[in-house]
Chain A
Amino acid sequence: MTLLSLRQVHKNFGETAIIRGVDLNIEAGERHAIIGPNGAGKSTLFHLISGLHHVSSGEIRFKGEEIQDKPPYEISRLGMARSFQVTNIFARLNVFENIRCALLWPEGLRYSFWHLLGRQDPLNEKTLAVLEQIGLADKMHYPAGELAYAQQRALELGIAIASGAEMILLDEPVAGMSHSEAEQAVDLIRRVTQDKTLIMVEHDMNIVFEVADRISVLVYGEIIASDTPAAIRANPKVQEAYLGEVVSGA
């Protein structure tokens, strides 16, 4: 079943075309990686899918529903969660509250001003479970803005995965982490996205080939190839445009 599909998606910023006719289908349960050089438009593509930006033309469907004109919160409620390349957390809330906030809507609490959070046992237990998973349980009373960089990245990831959304978009989730931190984070990503659909932008080819079962290569706003890792490795067009130096060394 196709969970997400993009048809002839274009995005211009003023005169400059950044996304130039992207077609993409993501099947339910797939782990899809998007790779490409800096400035290719990977983050922009995520912004279009998640509703932060709106397409200049084209169509995006999620679970069969057109979402290209919807605001982010409606898309999120359909079951899509995302993380950001640049850390985007609630700086003055503590770590616990950051994760709990991400669970409020999925837990059905919506805009309620008649439920007391302290009494929501399942909510609070789930929050603690997520904190354990991302390894921040001992930091849960710290204001998020005071965490070290790698911990903020873990929290960034935690906010995205907390909701248990069916589809998860991760934009360079391990960028800037040390090797061991990245390894842990990849482990976590694999675990929590077990029965989910994942799209991930990532630069580290080892991670991409380890996690993804399909890879799309985005160059100058166009997808030049979309295939299995093995086929992408062998694709001469990809080698020429992007992978050449990176993979030969690995």
Chain B
Amino acid sequence: MIQRVAIWLSYLGALLLLPLFFDSVLAISIFNQMAIAIVFALSYNMLLGQGGMLSFGHAVYFGLGGFLAVHALVMIEFETVYFSVVLIPLVGGLIGLLAAVFIGSFSTHKAGTVFAMISLGIGELIAASSLIFVGFFGGEAGVSGDRTYGPPFFGIEFLRDVEVYYLAAFWVFLATLFMYLFTQTPAGRMANAVRDNPERAEFIGYSARRVRYISFCAAGFFAGVAGGLFALNYEFITEENLNAATSGRVLLMAYIGGLGYFIGPIIGAVILTLMNSLLSNFTDLWMLYLGILFVLTVLFLPRGFAGFIMMHQVAWIRGKLTTLAIPYLLTGIPAGVFAAAVIAMVEMSHSESDAFNFLGLSLDPGGALSWLLMLVLASASLFATRSSLPQLRAAWEGANSLPGDETE
């Protein structure tokens, strides 16, 4: 119990203190994106990780919430309605909920392929409608508003990004807390049970469909909250925010982070936001690297980054975590060099300019020397990585074995 409170307090502390340590415009803008992504990815995991529903259309609830939130900003601006913009995420949430109440009433009938296909179909349908109903969705340009109108909130008018950040941080904390608490309720626990075995759930009194429906509505609500946060932060929204690409990205976030852990999607949201905003400054191939990261995660870390961290619990409890540091470096360094060399070659084949700077090296895509160097580096580091694996395996077994095991 005390441990749990401590975790939540450190989460709150991190949210509050981050902008004090990183206060550049770029950093604040990245934090705002992270905040949005965290709520969105957590809501997605209510479906997939907690409820066993693979959705290819979760952006619908994010996007619809976001569109209505932008329209609400406009209405506040023109004084059609009168409330503070701090409540905008709630507007998004209610719209997400409304959409989920309607769509979930038929899509949660079955899990599995049927659910996945319906989610894909609905996603395409809504994305297509957004280009047809231009009055509401604004066509390809989208719709925009201005968060600085409306009654000031205790003197704050949200002119500065950092003010938006603290508003977002408030909502992120609240949304995370409520999504966590949901997992601790009968409806939340039965969502896990139905995920594992919908048939048996029906013999202990629960309609599997109703259980899925409740999770689905909750997921729609929180996706809408994320959409509302998006509207507040960017003050505009377009069709791109409810199409299949956005739905795919939230799936990647949750998966890479780890579906089986509550904290997984938070990790995934942070990693992907960082990749998105930092990597995209250096290369326009960042989507390719994201794809590779996803494939590698599926192959080697099926339980995501959170699962990878949790793997170390035993070693941690036995106080042997430090024995892994050197072995990790022995494998990690050549593996990192290998990745860098491969990336260098990918960038060289993609590059249109003559020479470019890569991690302090000047590479020339036209010259044989650069290619030869990278090829040799890649082969050598791959070889080094492979030959380092036995020592890593041995160290891992050593760290996870009981003291008594060694005498056998």
- Show the binding face of A for B, using Cβ within 8 Å: 50-52, 71-73, 76-77, 81-82, 84, 88-93, 97, 100-102, 104-106, 109-118, 159, 163
Known: A111-B210, A116-B185. A73 touches B202 (CB 8 A): yes
Alpha-carbon distance A90/B202, docked complex (angstroms): 12
Alpha-carbon distance A218/B1, docked complex (angstroms): 54
B204 on the A face (CB < 8 A): yes
Q: Which stretch from B32-40, B59-67, B84-92, B192-200 is at the chain A interface?
A: B192-200
Whether the Cβ atoms of B192 and A97 lie closer than 8 Å is yes
Whether the Cβ atoms of A105 and B206 lie closer than 8 Å is yes
Chain A interface secondary structure, helix, strand, loop or mixed?
loop
A170 CB to nearest chain B CB (Å): 12
B residues near A91, Cβ cutoff 8 Å? 196-197
B residues near A76, Cβ cutoff 8 Å? 202-205
Contact residue among B181, B185, B189, B260 (Cβ-Cβ distance under 8 Å from A101): B189
B187 on the A face (CB < 8 A): yes
B190 on the A face (CB < 8 A): yes
Whether the Cβ atoms of B204 and A102 lie closer than 8 Å is yes
B104 CB to nearest chain A CB (Å): 14
Contact residue among A84, A93, A159 (Cβ-Cβ distance under 8 Å from B204): A159
8 residue pairs, one from A and one from B, having the closest CB atoms: A105-B205, A72-B202, A113-B187, A90-B196, A109-B186, A113-B185, A102-B204, A73-B202
A95 CB to nearest chain B CB (Å): 13
Whether the Cβ atoms of A50 and B189 lie closer than 8 Å is no
Contact residue among B185, B200, B202, B260 (Cβ-Cβ distance under 8 Å from A112): B185
A88 CB to nearest chain B CB (Å): 5
B234-285 with Cβ < 8 A to chain A = 260
B214 on the A face (CB < 8 A): yes
Alpha-carbon distance A109/B188, docked complex (angstroms): 12
A146 CB to nearest chain B CB (Å): 13
Contact residue among A77, A93, A116 (Cβ-Cβ distance under 8 Å from B205): A77
B158-193 with Cβ < 8 A to chain A = 181-182, 184-190, 192-193
- Show the binding face of B for A, using Cβ within 8 Å: 181-182, 184-190, 192-193, 195-197, 199-207, 210-211, 214, 218, 260
Known: A111-B186, A115-B185, A118-B184. A104 touches B205 (CB 8 A): yes
A residues near B189, Cβ cutoff 8 Å? 93, 97, 100-101, 104, 117
Chain A residue nearest to B178 in the complex (CB): A113
Chain B interface secondary structure, helix, strand, loop or mixed?
helix
A residues near B182, Cβ cutoff 8 Å? 113
A residues near B186, Cβ cutoff 8 Å? 104, 109-113, 115, 117
Q: Could you list some 18 contacts between A and B, CB below 8 A?
A: A52-B199, A52-B203, A73-B201, A76-B202, A81-B203, A81-B204, A88-B197, A90-B197, A90-B200, A90-B201, A91-B197, A93-B196, A104-B205, A106-B205, A111-B186, A111-B190, A112-B185, A113-B214
Chain B residue nearest to A111 in the complex (CB): B187
Known: A111-B210, A111-B214. A72 touches B192 (CB 8 A): no
Whether the Cβ atoms of B200 and A113 lie closer than 8 Å is no
A residues near B206, Cβ cutoff 8 Å? 73, 104-105, 111
B residues near A73, Cβ cutoff 8 Å? 201-203, 205-207
B29 CB to nearest chain A CB (Å): 35
B residues near A112, Cβ cutoff 8 Å? 185-187
Whether the Cβ atoms of A88 and B207 lie closer than 8 Å is no
Alpha-carbon distance A117/B187, docked complex (angstroms): 10
A residues near B260, Cβ cutoff 8 Å? 92
Known: A110-B186, A112-B185. A92 touches B192 (CB 8 A): yes
Alpha-carbon distance A115/B189, docked complex (angstroms): 11
